[in-house]
Structure 1
């Protein structure tokens, strides 16, 4: 079949397993051909279906996320390497970036708790050239991905990646204080039903946080004063039904709280001062 016919057939096969079947088919075809999606669409009538396409399509039919198949994901206009060792950066998380930038001065230091791919930390460093950052994660593999992204974005000289686990007693030793602490911790309830694209492929340790999804906020927020400069602030991503519970926890520990909403007007983040 021609590339166009193959794309139509692939989209039909993906209809039951993807919310964006035609887009998925085009992205996979472009990757198999070594082209951009726009070049694929411009040249489709002149191209031959590559032998790798069917294997990539089968992976998507088995619900593997497109980002893992391609090995990359765009976030805030930049491309990040991803693998099953890290959560896929999502557009919802971009809602945290502008409110953080608005409160950041010309220079400062930031700490990213559970950095994963480094998307939050590295985006803020790229947007604020006078800042330096530290990213921590308990996963050595995730830190490898974050370090790779720091190098590809030209930020390696302004960031340090460290293996630390905030469930351990002495995890803060030697970290110091920061002008900004940002975190997208695990916040999914352990018995939550997730799409197979997420539950079967993304790292469990970065998703689930106890019966109500709040375990990691309970660990981190009581320790924030030790991590923050007195004039500093913290930004947390939250689940869209967790704003009241996490706000109450922050107020209990003496923080003022500002709610951040995403593009769908759902609660998405909290700024603590």
Structure 2
């Protein structure tokens, strides 16, 4: 079977995928241990029997819904190739908005904490851009912490300390910036039965109180770990912007604003905390960057 024939065959079978050709190209390049550009440069090259069998097996799994990132074991985030597995969420492009937001708040000497780090995507992106910062990251899942450490090692990023912790349970010290992409999907949300999400760990997706319980807990406890005028920023669902701003306002955060993602949906809410009193803030205040 030629490369171009293999891609045509796979694209025909992956009718339920919105990115059938791209999925096929990534999986075939993975089997061949080549970049995807190789497929377009040498479409007439033949696959070996072993390569054909391996590719067909991956396509079958993809037809059954297994995410491409889990099949290849790699997902790029912030131009960093990250190892992924089914102990963590697959990093999403929209989460890069959280990285951009954090970078705008950080100085080269900032101390940063990432809660629920998963693959380490967020903190490793920040650490790669700010090599002189003190970066810390926690996750309650031991396998996720192990994976994040592996990613830091493979990327030669040395300014991050990873620790197993249920949110702030094992966190010490004070921070200038706290970031988190916590579980924020309601347990009855129909999206849990659709697409790649079906294969990702529910513990990293689902929260009670209409998806807001972990966000509320983080916002409440973060005050004890933020330096004066430190920033808290949390990724959330596209319909949760108002609710998250209300939570922040009720806890006396100020400079509250919600930032949209690449699809023009509410995605990140950021606020500043100070022990000094501030004027009351309207919980419906919204500033879009």
2:22 alignment counterpart? 23
Residue aligning to 1:87: 89
Alpha-carbon contact 2:112-2:178 (below 8 Å) kept: yes
Give the aligned length: 267
**C-alpha distance in structure 2 between counterparts of 1:73 and 1:199, whole Å:** 15
**RMSD over aligned Cα, in angstroms?**
1.3
1:162 equivalent in structure 2? 163
- Partner residue, 1:77: 79
Can you list the C-alpha shifts for 1:20-58, whole angstroms capped at 9, x where unaligned?
A: 001111111111111110112211212325221111111
1:243 and 2:245 correspond: no
Distance 2:91 2:240 in 1: 20
Three-state SS of the structure 2 residue aligned to 1:80 is strand
- Partner residue, 1:193: 190
Structure 1 residues 82-91 or 191-200, which shifts more? 191-200
> 1: CA distance between counterparts of 2:125 and 2:170?
26
Alignment check: 8 A CA contact 1:138 1:163 kept: yes
Q: What residue is the counterpart of 2:178 in the other structure?
A: 181
* Structure 1 Cα separation of the partners of residues 270 and 198 of structure 2: 32
Return 5+ residue gaps in structure 2 as ranges: 273-289
- The structure showing larger relative contact order (alpha-carbon pairs under 8 Å, at least 6 residues apart) is 1
Is residue 96–residue 260 contact of structure 1 (8 Å, CA) maintained in 2?
no
**CA contact under 8 A between 2:118 and 2:148: conserved in structure 1?**
yes
Q: Is the contact between residue 123 and residue 137 of structure 2 (CA under 8 Å) also seen in structure 1?
A: yes
Tell me the residue number matched to 2:138: 136
**5+ residue gaps in structure 1?**
none
Instruction: Provide runs of 4+ in structure 1 moved above 4 Å.
Output: none
Q: Deviations over 1:148-173 (max 9, x none)?
A: 11111211x3111111113xxxx445
